[in-house]
Amino acid sequence: MEHMPQVIRKTSPYLRRPQAKVSRMMSDVVIALIPVIIFAIYSFGWSAVWILLASTLSMTLTEAIYYWITSPKGETAFTLSNYSAVVSGLIFGLTLADNTPIWVVVITGVLGILMAKLFFGGLGQNIFNPAALARVLVAVNFATLSTYQANIPIIDGEAGATVLQTLNESGNLFNADILNHIPLWQLFTGIGVPGSLGEVSALLIIVGGLYLALRHSFEVRIPVVFIATVFGLASAVAVYQGLGIWYPLMHVFSGGVMFGAVFMATDPITSPITKPGRIYFAFALGFVTFIIRLFGALPEGVVFSILIMNMFVSAFDYFKWSNPRFTTKGSVIFAGVVVAAIAVVLVGVSYVG
């Protein structure tokens, strides 16, 4: 009898290591989030606890009820057991301000996982990141009900406002009076910094990212290129405007760049498969984020950039032009795109600056 190759039928995400499981990867993400969660509870108190409970329960119960209704015999994929809904709920909760009403968290959590994940067929078939979509629903529909609070004002006279928010509302993105008073160490550690529950401490996000990297539970290239792109574009602006190194560092440490790069952009289902594709994807995330921050009406652009680039993941993976290896032609084109991106940013800055 002719030997027949074994064919394994399964849905994405596709993992290379034989021992790798989605549940192991998701539980690693939960472990990596623990320092961030503890710090959020320490900084914001019980409000952080209630928001995280509401976001996690709303997403997991929605998924459980959805599969109970659509597959009463359990014949279809039931993804609750691999913790993916728990991860989405925790990440969504950590992107929220500490005074977000619980009913807002529940409504947007339910809609986020329904619209971004379950309606597409569940884990492995969703196009959009559920946590990012839920967060955008809050920003678009309930922005006035979700404002930042902090025990210590980061900038004199601006208690409760983030650095990006303060710059945006000042009407001058390069306001020296504001920029000269930004304490970078405070932004790095997150102590007394207003902002979303899990996004204020860059230090603890890095700790979580290192754990995931050591466990091979996420794609390192994506956060590195994402953050490097924001830093590089902000550095070009700093040179053009005569600002110091603190300007690009401020953009990296403030807002959701670090958190989004480590815990949201690395979602294996909503990011490209090939190595070059992931680098192009991460660069585009950094570029879109920085463009929104400089020229958009909203001070923060991370979750919007993630949702926008989620739409192009299938294009990055399209079999007729995607390549698992870097080619000379691809590298030249990408270098040209990088130069063009810097030029677009500097031309734009010449008008708004």
Please report the pLDDT score of residue 268 as a whole number: 86
- Which of 156-165, 231-240, 317-326 is most confident? 231-240
> What's the token pair of residue 41?
């509870």
pLDDT at position 160 over 70: no
In whole angstroms, what is the distance from residue 291 CA to residue 274 CA? 26
Q: What is the mean pLDDT of residues 9-13?
A: 52
- The number of CA neighbours under 13 Å toward the Cβ of 121 is 7
Q: What is the mean pLDDT of residues 268-283?
A: 91
- Return the closest-CA partner of residue 261 out of 238, 227, 298: 227
Q: What is the mean pLDDT of residues 56-74?
A: 86
Please report the pLDDT score of residue 336 as a whole number: 94
**pLDDT category, 157, cuts 50, 70, 90?**
very low
**pLDDT category, 82, cuts 50, 70, 90?**
confident
**pLDDT category, 187, cuts 50, 70, 90?**
confident
Please report the pLDDT score of residue 194 as a whole number: 80
Mean pLDDT of the chain: 84
pLDDT at position 294 over 70: yes
pTM score, whole prediction: 0.87
pLDDT at position 175 over 60: yes
Please report the pLDDT score of residue 146 as a whole number: 67
In whole angstroms, what is the distance from residue 7 CA to residue 18 CA? 15
Annotate 184-223 with DSSP letters as a single string: HHHHHH-TT--S-TTTS-HHHHHHHHHHHHHTT-S-THHH
Query: CA angle at residue 126 from 121 to 129, to 5 degrees?
Result: 140
Distances (CA, A) of 249 to 110, 183, 243, 329: 35, 11, 11, 33
Mean pLDDT is lowest, of 28-37, 133-142, 183-192, for 183-192
Please report the pLDDT score of residue 122 as a whole number: 82
**Residues 338-347: pLDDT tens digits?**
999 999 999 9
pLDDT at position 159 over 70: no
Please report the pLDDT score of residue 328 as a whole number: 87
- Percentage, residues of the chain above pLDDT 90: 48
What are the helix (H) ranges across 180-322? 184-189, 202-214, 221-241, 246-253, 257-259, 275-295, 302-310, 313-316
- Return the closest-CA partner of residue 312 out of 334, 333, 335, 283: 283
Mean pLDDT is lowest, of 45-54, 157-166, 180-189, for 157-166
